[in-house]
Amino acid sequence: MTSRIPSFDSVLSPLDYRDDHVALIDQTALPGRLEVLRIATVSEMVVAIQRLAVRGAPAIGIAAAYGMVLASRASCAPEHMAEAAEALRAARPTAVNLGWALDRMLGVFRAHEGRSQSELRAALLEEARRIHAEDIEGNKQIGRFGADLLPNGCSVLTICNTGALATGGYGTALGVVRAAWAQKKLTRVYACETRPLLQGARLNAWELLQEGIPFRVLVDSAAGALLAQGRVQAVLVGADRIARNGDTANKIGTYTLAVLAARHRVPFYVVAPASTVDLRAASGEAIPIEERGPEEVLAALGRQVAPQGAEAWNPAFDVTPAELIAGIVSEHGVLRPPYEETIPAACAPRA
Ligand code: MRU
């Protein structure tokens, strides 16, 4: 363990590359303890991603990029680097940012093949840092676009953690919250606790407290009552993968919020960088959904709550159909339907 809290360009970040390791906040310990792990190998990074010590789609993309730098410290042999990339890619299946970042790192590796190991390592570290810096810059832009959408004096509903901890820094949906708060447009955040692992109650609440932004945590099943009482003017959610037609995979329970928002005519916005768009996925049907272990559902905070022998279904994500999404707030602006046209126009790689 190390002690200094990771930051990047003076922004709180869940991770940072140090001389020979990645310093990474262990998000499973928050909010009780702020522990910074020392990750020195690819296999340690794979485990950190799998057990959600680092989580959130953009953050795990950045973690994977730094994981490739760690791999290159051991050897720059092409087979070794390919194996490292495959191990990282398989760590979690839904967030497309993981594969997106690895493809960028592999592109740089191939472009520098034949160079000395130290030149290769330097090029990989530079690319990983670029991915990290671009994410923070993009999030700040997203924050500005998103805040413009919100009416003065509004309250918003969120799910999961989409803040600094889930990204390179600043946050996506929580970045919009930060920007709206700075512009004095925001009255309160309602944060769904986000069972089973409570990223909303533990991590969103931790970030909001530090920012001094007023918030209330609610159990996920209170969202319907909240919307029915007209307490929020927008729902802001992140994304793990956005298909070409706008269908969006995000934390389990997001789809429920979208249906409720439609019922109560409250705009439902997906807030995510272009790195979360998968142009190869034609629709939500092509998005792989991670299923996690039953113990996350059958126990709460380490204590068994269901009787021994109970079984569980534990999808980590669900898919919200594009027709329920009022807009996708990206660093390229607010994308609107028809998404099959606006998403490729904004997010296709430029030649
Ligand atoms: O399982 P997690 O905690 O990695 O899930 C995270 C989410 O679903 C987030 O909403 C998403 O990754 C966007 S984070 C900016």
- Which residues are identified as catalytic? 240
How far apart CA 255 and CA 265 sit, in angstroms, is 15
pLDDT of residue 76: 93
Q: Whose CA is nearest to atom 6 of ligand 1?
A: 56
Q: Amino acid letter at 177?
A: V
- Measured from CB, residues less than 6 Å from any atom of ligand 1 are 52, 55-58, 95, 160, 162, 166-167, 172, 199, 238-240, 250-251, 316
Query: Is the pTM value of this prediction over 0.95?
Result: yes
Do 340 and 326 meet the contact criterion of CB atoms below 8 Å apart?
no
Q: What is the Å distance from ligand 1's center to 165 Cα?
A: 10
Using DSSP, state whether 338 is helix, strand or coil: coil
pLDDT of residue 121: 95
Domains of the chain: 7-139 (1.20.120.420), 144-347 (3.40.50.10470)
Q: What is the Å distance from ligand 1's center to 20 Cα?
A: 28
Q: What is the Å distance from ligand 1's center to 233 Cα?
A: 22
How far apart CA 261 and CA 239 sit, in angstroms, is 17
pLDDT of residue 10: 79
Question: Who contacts 275 (Cβ-Cβ below 8 Å, separation ≥6)?
Answer: 58, 61, 96, 97, 100, 101, 135, 138
What is the per-residue DSSP string for 274-322? Answer: GGGEETT--SGGGS---B--THHHHEETTEE-SPTT-----BSEEEE-G
Q: Tens of pLDDT along the chain (351 residues)?
A: 556 888 887 789 999 999 899 999 999 999 999 999 999 999 999 999 999 999 999 999 999 999 999 999 999 999 999 999 999 999 999 999 999 999 999 999 999 988 999 999 999 999 999 999 999 999 999 999 999 999 999 999 999 999 999 999 999 999 999 999 999 999 999 999 999 999 999 999 999 999 999 999 999 999 999 999 999 999 999 999 999 999 999 999 999 999 999 999 999 999 999 999 999 999 999 999 999 999 999 998 789 999 999 999 999 999 999 999 999 999 999 999 999 999 999 998 765
How far apart CA 26 and CA 272 sit, in angstroms, is 23
| 90 phi/psi in degrees, rounded to 5 | -85, -5
| 236 phi/psi in degrees, rounded to 5 | -120, 120
pLDDT of residue 187: 98
Q: Among candidates 214, 225, 50, 66, which has minimal Cα distance to 132? A: 66
pLDDT of residue 208: 98
Q: What is the Å distance from ligand 1's center to 85 Cα?
A: 21
| 76 phi/psi in degrees, rounded to 5 | -105, 20
For ligand 1, mutation pick of 161, 177, 192, 202 (most atoms within 8 Å of CB): 161
Q: Amino acid letter at 114?
A: G
The ligand 1 atom nearest the CA atom of 95: 12
